[in-house]
Structure 1
Amino acid sequence: EELEKHGKLPSAWKSFAPIVIPIILMALGSIASFPSHPFGEGAFKTICNFFGTPVNALLVGVAFSFLLLPKFDSETLNGWIGESLKDAATILVVTAAGGAFGNVIKEIKVGDYIGQSLSGLSLGIFLPFIIAAALKTAQGSSTVAIVTTSALLYPLLPVLGLNSEMGKVLTVMAIGAGAMTVSHANDSYFWVVTQFSGMDVKTAYKTQTVATLIQGLVTIATVFVLSLFLL
């Protein structure tokens, strides 16, 4: 029935190429940037650096996705592009808005205020988690939460008793736990899940948002238990 509906399905390599090839290109770009220069410093390194840039790698992936078209004509192409834009528009808008809001928070030093307010409390390994979770929940970007929390906490590690090598490892784990707590409407990943799974927002809040809260709490609890034995 599916075969009759969609016609002949593409081969495995055509199906996976738009996903796998950009990953390979970005991996090669990262390797080419190693200080040891594993690819030398000639043309091959330049090519790897160019196509390893995420935007360029994804453009190559888009080019390979055209191989999946059953027939390459304007009607099919316009249909695919229109459907893609319809699904991706919300994600792109929310991602852009979240990025802008994240920059606003960064510029007005909210992270600094949170860090200074909480640094006087004896929270230990929970402090990195709380700051990262507050930033993640406020502006949606895990990357901003990780980078900002790391910059805030580094000078405070001796005060928190986390200045040892193992303390730094546990701090990174605690920041990671906080940076995924919680995913909701200001997080582009939230909309990726809802849009492509057909899930309505109410259901997503009950499932994905709650799930990210649980995973964050379970992770920080695990980190705390580890700290009892390793610090």
Structure 2
Amino acid sequence: MGLVLILVALIAFIVLSTTRLKLHPFLALLAAALIAGFAYQLPSGEIIKTMTAGFGGILGYIGIVIVLGTIIGVILERSGAAITMAETVIRLLGQRFPTLTLSIIGYLVSIPVFCDSGYVILNSLKNALAARMKVSVVAMSVALATGLYATHTFVPPTPGPIAAAGNLGLETSLGLVILVGLLVAAVTAVAGMLWANRFLKQNDQALLEEAPSELLADNVDFDALRARYGKLPSAWQAFSPIFVPIALICLGSVAAFPSKPFGEGALFDVLSFLGQPVAALLVGLVLACALLRGEGKRQQFHDHVAHGLKEAAPILLITGAGGAFGAVLKATALTGYLGDTLSALGIGLFMPFLVAAALKSAQGSSTVALVTTSAMVAPLLANLGLDSEMGRVLTVMAIGAGAMTVSHANDSFFWVVTQFSRMKVATAYRAQTMATLIQGMSGMLAVWLLSLVLL
């Protein structure tokens, strides 16, 4: 029990130090990682090594994606493309349900794309829609993040659900996992959107560190902005830097299916390369360059890149510090203690849910929670009465629901959402972390109801 109390105390330290003491999140997270290392009695010589490995590991995965996505966002905003995107979406889907629009976009995009990358890619569209519809950027950020998060934890070909299905012997039943996953993910996406709606009319100035885009600054005059940009880009020009990378990542995921639908020749090699988020975003950056107009395009491009790097730097540092904190927690006895304690409860589908939720909250990674819990639960399925094909599928869903409960300071996605949206840390816990708690519980409720019908 003491191990859990230390984790609670560390989270309280991060929240209080960033809100009351005004300590920068980068330093607060590094301090929390250091304190955790000593509190959990890791060897003193390993604490700093674990922190630096965690810092570098998370940036190796998401760092370049953040930088490229930020640069593309700057170009989209400063070329007027963001206004075109917002007006196109509004023309197609209307203004009545702004959070629903972003939730659906996130739900679809995150089926083949990691939620972190998806949020970075779609951030500029989210800001433009929030500004054009005159609604809270916090509400729109949570709607997008929860839409992305829903399919990320339930629907293959995302690695976590695929690995969980494999560990539970469902390699030949991925179609069924996808079908049930889409249904459960839809429930959690709706739950996240409804929570996001609580913030629609709230004053962003009290919730944000600063406006995340010039489009969201006070008293923005869109007519004046139009005049400044001159002729706005076409819808294709505006959307291509976002949706071409998404399409490439989708094709890369399809190419990697065990059935090899594109074969294993040159086409497979090309799609496997371009389907990686970094390569796909480089293509997006090339397409964004077509938005540069007028004299001195090289200087414009240089200025936009410099501005993007300046904006990306604090996001990178805070995300890396979150990775350091998560890495220290992973190296402690906490995850093993939680897994052993909860796996002994024997409460049907709620056991894998609780184990995954405890592991997710303790170490931050949904993928690790999915993989670890599924491996731990696999030998226990017969004892739990879940040894049928549908029982295994619902076990994957229960683990997925747990693996989204909850996203907080040791999760890179928490910091991507927080920093790209410029939320205060206290706001992020109230908006984003609480949203993931509601999503996880809603997902588990849906899985339990399905089990009453299908098992």
**TM-score, shorter chain, exceeding 0.5:** yes
C-alpha separation in 2, matches of 1:148 and 1:98:
21
Q: Which residue of 2 aligns with 1:88?
A: 312
Q: Is 2:334–2:362's contact at 8 Å kept on the other side of the alignment?
A: no
SS at match of 1:68: coil
Q: Indicate conservation of the 8 Å contact 1:118/1:127, yes or no.
A: yes
The corresponding residue for 1:3 is 226
Matching residue of 2:280: 57
Per-residue Cα deviation, 1:38-88 (whole angstroms, up to 9, x for no partner): 333332222222222232222222222222334554543343223323433
- CA–CA distance in 2 between the matches of 1:40 and 1:225? 40
The question of whether the paired residues in 2 share the 8 Å contact of 1:98 and 1:141 is answered with no
The answer to whether the Cα contact below 8 Å between 2:366 and 2:403 also exists between their aligned partners in 1 is yes
Cα drift, residue 3 of structure 1: 0.3
Distance 1:86 1:38 in 2: 42
Equivalent residue of 2:263, what SS?
coil
Q: Which residue of 1 aligns with 2:395?
A: 171
Q: Secondary structure at the match of 1:122?
A: coil
Q: Secondary structure of 2:290's partner?
A: helix
> Which residue of structure 2 aligns with residue 127 of structure 1?
351
Deviates more, 1:73-82 or 1:173-182: 73-82
- In structure 2, the partner of 1:224 is 448
1:115 paired residue among 333, 336, 339: 339
1:33 aligned to 256, 268, 279, which one? 256
Deviates more, 1:2-11 or 1:101-110: 101-110
Contact 2:326–2:411 (8 Å) recurs in 1: no
Equivalent residues in 2 for 1:196-211, closer than 5 Å: 196-211=420-435
TM-score (ref. length: structure 1): 0.85
**Separation of aligned partners in 2, 1:219 and 1:34:** 26
Aligned CA distance change for structure 1 residues 102 and 156 (closer, same or farther; 3 Å): farther
Deviation at residue 204 of structure 1 after TM alignment = 2.1
Q: Which has the higher contact order (CA 8 A, sep 6+)?
A: 2
In the other structure, the counterpart of 1:180 is 404
Residue 12 (structure 1) aligns with = 235
Aligned length: 231
SS in 1 for 2:390: helix
Secondary structure of 1:182's aligned partner: coil
For 1:183 and 1:193, locate their aligned partners in 2 and report how far apart those are by CA, in whole Å: 11
- What is the one-letter code of the residue matched to 2:336? D
RMSD (Å), alpha carbons: 2.5
TM-aligned CA distance change 1:209 to 1:97, over 3 Å = same
What amino acid maps onto 2:447 in structure 1? V
Query: What letter corresponds to residue 165 of structure 1 in structure 2?
Result: E
Q: 2: CA distance between counterparts of 1:38 and 1:145?
A: 30
Q: 1:15-49 CA deviation, whole Å, 9 max, x = no partner?
A: 21122112222222233334444333332222222
Aligned to 1:150: 374
Residue 42 (structure 1) aligns with: 265
Hey, what does 1:162 align to over in structure 2? Answer: 386
Say if 1:21 and 1:159 are closer, same or farther in 2 by CA, change over 3 A.
same
Contact kept, 8 Å, 1:135 with 1:145, in 2: the verdict is: yes
In structure 2, relative to structure 1, the CA distance for the partners of 1:121 and 1:42 (3 Å cut) is closer
Aligned residue number for residue 136 of structure 1: 360
Which stretches in structure 2 are left out of the alignment for 5+ residues? 1-222
Tell me, yes or no, if the aligned pair for 1:128 and 1:153 is still in contact at 8 Å: yes
Counterparts of 1:140 and 1:55 in 2: how far apart (Å)? 23
Give, in whole Å, the separation in 1 of the partners of 2:322 and 2:379.
28
Equivalent residues of 1:124, 1:160 under 8 A apart: yes
| SS of residue paired to 1:45 | helix
Partner of 1:22: 245
Deviates more, 1:129-138 or 1:103-112: 103-112
**TM-score normalised according to structure 2 size:** 0.46
Aligned residues with identical type, % of pairs: 59
Return closer, same or farther for 1:36/1:175 CA change in 2, 3 Å cut-off: closer
- 1:192 aligns to what? 416
- Cα distance in structure 1, aligned partners of 2:333 and 2:376: 11
The one-letter code of the counterpart of 1:156 is L
